[in-house]
Structure formats: C-alpha cells, structure tokens
C-alpha cells in the first residue's frame, strides 16, 4: 500500500450501504449525510463520496446501525421445558427446534433455566453477545415472578437493599409488587443486571417466597410484548439500533478505562 493511499477510498459508498442495510432509501440516506446526522467511526460525515466497509461503525442521530447484512438478530419467547442450549448433551428439548430454519449459525445470548420462560436473544454477532451477556456492562433484565405467599413492602425493600446468598451478596436494581394471584400468591416484578445462575429464583427463595412461575419480560431495551411462547422473530430496526448503541458505548467505555489504567 502506498504512503498516500487513503483508506476511505476503499469500500462502498456510505449511502449505498445504508440503503442495503434497510436504514432508508439511497436518496433519503444522502439527505441524512448532507444534514450532518450520520457518523462513521465516531466522526460526522457530510460528503456523499465517503466510502465505508461493513466493519465500520455507523450511526444516524446517535443510534447505531448494522451495515453487515450477514448478521442476524432474533427474539425468542422461550417456553418452559426448553434448555438454553443449541445441542443439549443430555437429549433434553433445546433451542435447535427454533433455529434450524435459519441458514446462519446462531447462538443464544445468556441463558434462561429450563423452567423459566421469556425473552431470549439469538444471534451470530459474537461481539454484541459478549456485551449483552457480561454482567460488568450492566445490561438490565426484568422478570415477572409468581411466588408463594403474600409479599410485603418490607420484603421488597429487603430485595433492593441486598441479601446474602451462598455465592455472595446480591441486590435487585428495582423490585415491586404488581398484583396478587389468588389468596396466597403474589406477582412480583424484579429488575437486575446480575448474570448469576438462577439468581431471581434464589433471591426470592431466600426471602421466603419460592417461585412458582418465572418469565423474563425485558432484556435491556427489548420488550417481549405480545410475542407468544414458542414464537420467534427478527428484531426491528429500532430494537437493533438500541442494542448496537449499548454495545458500542460499552466498548468505548471499556477502551477508555483500559487506556486510563
């Protein structure tokens, strides 16, 4: 490569890749670029001749977009009885039945135990999966638990103040009572960023309210919504943008802390 070679001359025109990624039509993409609303690798780009690669980090109005169309991002409402594995070595029902229809080699982000249902992300984007699954990045997860007994306000306060488990202390980031399920059962919403094994079940057990049923309703900016148990769908552009933005901000923060360290 010559000394005066400009890497920006490689690749594909930015507006063409934006259109291919489904961000907007090429004409609208050009308007976004000229208006200074598009960033490439953290720098505002206003010239239409700019060329980029699929690996470049592009955002529109501060929201990240994915130029690499080989990446796939799915939301599954995992039913009870399915283990969070693509090939269970004990022959139990696993995630293969949901991903076998896709050509990409997908994997799950984090886990839900077999008796917990709800939102599970499946992707072939390893970098994103690492950020979303690693507790140090603080991605919040919200669960609705049906528990045995009538939960008091004091118990909710205990969950958020912190309790001691066999593998160390833990506190919910948020917790609240959302209703009663009969005379002797309570519906509790609990939000936390911990990725420890069966953590919600163990916390509620520790305060005297064993879990009867547990559903993960939210993972970071993603909401399960009306997606039925056993159903799977692609993330919307808005949902994907929110996830990618979290991932890239986490990467930048980690890089800054490494440099300062």
Residues in a beta bridge with 179? 187
CA distance 82 to 92: 7
**Cα angle at 19 between 18 and 25, to 5 degrees?**
125
Q: Is 234 a residue of the active site?
A: no
Task: Give how far Cα 32 sits from Cα of 24, 26, 48, 245, Å.
Answer: 9, 10, 10, 18
CA distance 259 to 255: 6
Contact 246, 254 (CB under 8 A): no
Q: Two tokens at 180?
A: 């009663």
Q: Which of 113, 125, 213, 234 is catalytic?
A: 113
Q: Two tokens at 56?
A: 């470049």
CA distance 207 to 153: 12
Task: Give how far Cα 98 sits from Cα of 77, 82, 87, 94, 243, Å.
Answer: 10, 11, 12, 9, 22
The sheet carrying 43-44 orders its strands as: 43-44, 38-40, 58-60, 63-65
Contact 233, 227 (CB under 8 A): yes
Q: Which residues contact 118 (CB under 8 A, 6 or more apart)?
A: 77, 78, 112, 143, 214, 215, 216, 217, 224
Catalytic residues: 113
């Amino acid at each position: 490569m010559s000394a005066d070679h400009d890497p920006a001359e490689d690749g594909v025109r930015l507006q063409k890749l934006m259109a291919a990624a489904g961000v907007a039509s090429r004409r609208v993409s050009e308007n976004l670029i000229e208006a200074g609303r598009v960033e490439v690798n953290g720098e505002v780009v206003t010239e239409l001749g700019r060329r980029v690669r699929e690996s470049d980090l592009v955002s529109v109005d501060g929201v990240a977009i994915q130029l690499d169309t080989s990446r796939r991002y799915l939301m599954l409402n995992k039913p009870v009885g399915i283990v969070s594995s693509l090939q269970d070595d004990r022959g139990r029902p696993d995630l293969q039945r949901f991903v076998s229809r896709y050509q990409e080699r997908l994997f799950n982000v984090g886990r839900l135990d077999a008796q917990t249902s709800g939102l599970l992300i499946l992707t072939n984007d390893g970098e994103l999966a690492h950020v979303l699954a690693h507790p140090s990045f603080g991605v919040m997860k919200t669960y609705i638990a049906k528990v045995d007994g009538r939960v008091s306000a004091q118990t909710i306060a205990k969950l958020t103040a912190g309790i001691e488990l066999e593998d160390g202390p833990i506190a919910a980031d948020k917790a609240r009572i959302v209703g009663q399920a009969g005379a002797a059962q309570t519906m509790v919403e609990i939000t936390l960023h911990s990725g420890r094994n069966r953590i919600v079940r163990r916390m509620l057990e520790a305060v005297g309210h064993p879990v009867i049923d547990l559903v993960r309703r939210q993972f970071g900016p993603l909401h399960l919504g009306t997606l039925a148990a056993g159903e799977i769908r692609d993330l919307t552009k808005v949902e994907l943008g929110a996830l990618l933005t979290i991932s890239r901000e986490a990467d930048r923060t980690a890089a800054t802390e490494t440099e300062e360290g």
